[in-house]
Amino acid sequence: MSACVSVMCRCGLTVSPRILSVCVPVVSSLLFCTTNQASLTVSPSRSQMLEGESVSLSCEEDDSSAGWKLRRNTTRDTRTECDDWGESAGSSCNFSYIITLESGVYWCESREGATSNSINITVTGGSVILQSPVLPVMEGDDVTLHCKTKTSNLPAGFYKDGSLIRTEPAGHMTIHHVSESDEGLYKCHSSSHGESPSSWISVTGKPTTTAPPPGHEAPPPAREAPQLVFTLVRHLVVLCPYFISTLLMVSLYRHRHTGNDLPVSMATPPPTQAEQGLDDDYDDVIASVTTEHHF
């Protein structure tokens, strides 16, 4: 990644206008080189918090130079950065004492505007929370919900979309083999401590890497597209320095060869046998680069 960027810089700074006219479109198409990913994690790992808890949010990133920052939308303001409301350090952000007004949707955003997954956080002024998965649940997995106070589980009723689904004296319930029909808004109610806020639980389809069991329809291949893009980007990253330095070398050689008097700020050694060969391939290289460019 950094090799790629430094080749781009050399490319932009030291070559003549003619090379730039070839290089700039290539470089801009290869800005995909710097596209990367982050995922937001929260600790403690739940979407509901009690007022006064300390909470830590972190952007787990591939490349810290992309400048990932935590942002949030609340009922009061939108897209504000951690610096405005939390204790920020790099791409993480802490609350030492979270309050109800901090409820909202949180995500990481890079300087270029790429975004991570987002997490809904609800802070209650009451004493009961529902502990449910922060991230979408995979179809077929088991999910356990806890109804709890700061210190212990509470005997409680569990509700989905407003209707009681189960009463659990132990304060937790497990949904086995979740399916899309389990998606919904969950909460719990304790007769001694009151009600928790509601949290949305979403269910995502299984990846299609294994054959579906007989009698089941294959889930939609929703996860394949991002994987393809990732593979493509990875290949571009590998090819990027190769393309640019090949172009540079070939173009510089051409300048010398044709006695072109455009300023070139690099010392070029006399052409070798290999460069002669590359020169013949010049048009092929341009052609294949143009095809990549339309990616």
Residues that bind ligand NAG (CB under 6 A): 56, 73, 78-79, 87, 89, 92, 94, 105, 107, 118-120, 200, 202
Closest approach of Cβ 244 to ligand NAG, in Å? 36
Task: Choose between 52 and 271: whose C-beta lies nearer to ligand NAG.
Answer: 52
Closest approach of Cβ 53 to ligand NAG, in Å? 12
Task: Choose between 106 and 253: whose C-beta lies nearer to ligand NAG.
Answer: 106
Q: Which residues pair with 56 in a beta bridge?
A: 43, 94
- Residue 224 in contact with residue 180, Cβ under 8 Å? no
Pairing of strands 115-124, 48-50: parallel
Nearest to 128 by CA among 198, 172, 191, 193: 193
- Residue 47 in contact with residue 31, Cβ under 8 Å? no
Closest approach of Cβ 186 to ligand NAG, in Å? 11
Closest approach of Cβ 43 to ligand NAG, in Å? 7
52-56: which pairs have CB atoms within 8 A and are 24 or more residues apart? Answer: 52/97, 52/98, 52/99, 53/95, 53/97, 53/98, 54/94, 54/95, 54/96, 54/97, 54/98, 55/94, 55/95, 55/98, 55/121, 56/92, 56/93, 56/94, 56/95
- Total Cβ atoms within 10 A of residue 62: 13
How much is the CA Rg of the chain, to the nearest whole Å? 27
Closest approach of Cβ 107 to ligand NAG, in Å? 5
Number of residue whose CB is nearest ligand NAG? 89
Closest approach of Cβ 79 to ligand NAG, in Å? 6
Task: Choose between 16 and 56: whose C-beta lies nearer to ligand NAG.
Answer: 56
Task: Choose between 55 and 154: whose C-beta lies nearer to ligand NAG.
Answer: 55
Closest approach of Cβ 278 to ligand NAG, in Å? 48
Task: Choose between 117 and 245: whose C-beta lies nearer to ligand NAG.
Answer: 117
Q: What would the DSSP string read from start to end of 124-144?
A: ESSS-EEE--SSPEETT--EE
Closest approach of Cβ 18 to ligand NAG, in Å? 43
Task: Choose between 150 and 235: whose C-beta lies nearer to ligand NAG.
Answer: 150
From CA 276, how far away is CA 211, in angstroms rounded? Answer: 52
**Backbone angles phi and psi of 77, in degrees to 5:** -145, 165
From CA 255, how far away is CA 257, in angstroms rounded? Answer: 5
Task: Choose between 79 and 294: whose C-beta lies nearer to ligand NAG.
Answer: 79
Task: Choose between 135 and 285: whose C-beta lies nearer to ligand NAG.
Answer: 135
